[in-house]
Homo-oligomer: A and B are copies of this chain.
Amino acid sequence: MKVRLRNPDREMDVPGPRRVRELLAHLSIDPDTVLVIRDRTLLTREEPLDDGDRVEIRPVISGGAGRGRVTKCARCRGPAVIELRRHNAAFCRSCFLHHFTEQVKRAVKDHDMLEPGQRVMVAVSGGKDSLGLWDVLLELGYWATGMYLNLGIGDYSDRSGAAAAAFAGERGAELIHVDLRESYGYDIPTAGRKGSRSTCSVCGLSKRYVFNRVALDHGFDVVATGHNLDDEAATLLGNTLRWQTEYIARQFPVLAAREGMVKKVKPLHRLSERETAAFAVLKGIDYVVEECPLVAGNTQLRYKDALNLLERTSPGTKSAFYLGYLDRAAPLFAGEDRAALTACERCGQPTTGRFCAFCRAGAQIRGERLAGPGDRQVASEISTEALPEEIYATHTAGP
């Protein structure tokens, strides 16, 4: 049997396993960290395999280990294509797509995310989460425009942009393309080398800033991002381990519009990373499977590892943590969000200091002087100050 493994992309021959779980055991792969794909559909652990099969084992950067044998769809009793241990259920293709869409509808309704007729800008990276989000919003009839920000991360960015463009082309959807270097004079690899922030930090800051800016300029009502349950739980864990109560207080799937800031929503926050990957595969979305080449050592991934370790023995840990926070703990932190905003003296965007974090970081990277009228302070001096996060930041490195 031909088996295609990703990251790095390679193909190997595996003789004779009769079922998916035997193949994964043979390759020492944790079943809940991957999707097993044959002919554009998903295979459960109990699916029989044939010597002539070609299967792809696609990582989803998630956690969990197999336990039972659940192969019937919990909803229609037909053959299942995916097990969801957290729900102690399996679904066939059509019932899984129904489940996925219902979770998005529930998120939108519970948090008043979108209203019919509003213009939504979907921040699209070319990965499973953002393309899946765009897809489901279009299917639900929302007026959803994609916005792709080219971060200048070599081939990776080129492939990501191509995936976003191909998706838009197939669906006749509108896609806005912004190039970070053209618009702001730097790319992320340069920013990681030159600035005082880590690569992931300056990347997250740049994305949040540009998404908001572009949405304001184009008159969108809402910005939607593809943050999933794993992203939100990992971010909450990082903020909680340091008891960064201001960040914790702002970690909601909806951030209301304020002066200079468009409303932001995260309609996938009830769905795990593995579910968003499965949705993309089952909908035939050609997303970029490889991870960002600059992500090594990202702290967000370490929080995901820790949560995956716990999820493996206690399925539901992540959702109990994040959704439980929203339900029960968030009111305790409500008074901690004390940021008082003024306009950045350079760009006019809201900030807690004189200059917003984006302008300070950009000036430092470009080696520019950053000063208001009659001010002699230079960027290199400013950059040694503590840089408070932009008000939108929830200390997240997401899609």
Q: Which of chain B's residues have a CB closer than 8 A to the CB of A210? A: none
Whether A143 sits at the interface, judged by CB under 8 Å, is no
Question: CA–CA, A241 to B311, complex, Å?
Answer: 11
Whether A321 sits at the interface, judged by CB under 8 Å, is yes
Q: Which residues in A have some Cβ–Cβ distance to B below 8 Å?
A: 240-243, 245, 297, 299, 302-303, 305-307, 309-310, 313-314, 317, 320-321, 324-325, 328-329, 332-333, 336
Q: Which of chain B's residues have a CB closer than 8 A to the CB of A320? A: 241-243
Q: List 9 A-B contacts (CB under 8 A).
A: A241-B317, A241-B320, A243-B321, A245-B329, A302-B310, A303-B310, A306-B307, A306-B310, A332-B336
Question: CA–CA, A333 to B329, complex, Å?
Answer: 9
15 more A-B contacts (CB under 8 A) besides A241-B321, A243-B324, A309-B309? A240-B240, A240-B321, A241-B310, A241-B317, A242-B320, A243-B325, A243-B329, A245-B332, A297-B313, A302-B313, A302-B314, A303-B310, A306-B306, A306-B309, A306-B310
Q: Which of chain B's residues have a CB closer than 8 A to the CB of A329? A: 243, 245
Task: Kindly provide the distance from the CB of A323 to the nearest chain B CB, expressed in whole angstroms.
Answer: 10
Q: Which of chain B's residues have a CB closer than 8 A to the CB of A332? A: 245, 332-333, 336
State the majority secondary structure of interface residues on A.
Answer: helix
State the number of copies, please.
2
Question: CA–CA, A70 to B104, complex, Å?
Answer: 52
Question: CA–CA, A113 to B313, complex, Å?
Answer: 37
Question: CA–CA, A321 to B243, complex, Å?
Answer: 7
Task: Kindly provide the distance from the CB of A309 to the nearest chain B CB, expressed in whole angstroms.
Answer: 5
Question: CA–CA, A313 to B301, complex, Å?
Answer: 12
Q: Which of chain B's residues have a CB closer than 8 A to the CB of A313? A: 297, 302
Residue of B nearest to A325 (CB): B243
Q: Which of chain B's residues have a CB closer than 8 A to the CB of A333? A: 332
Question: CA–CA, A307 to B329, complex, Å?
Answer: 22
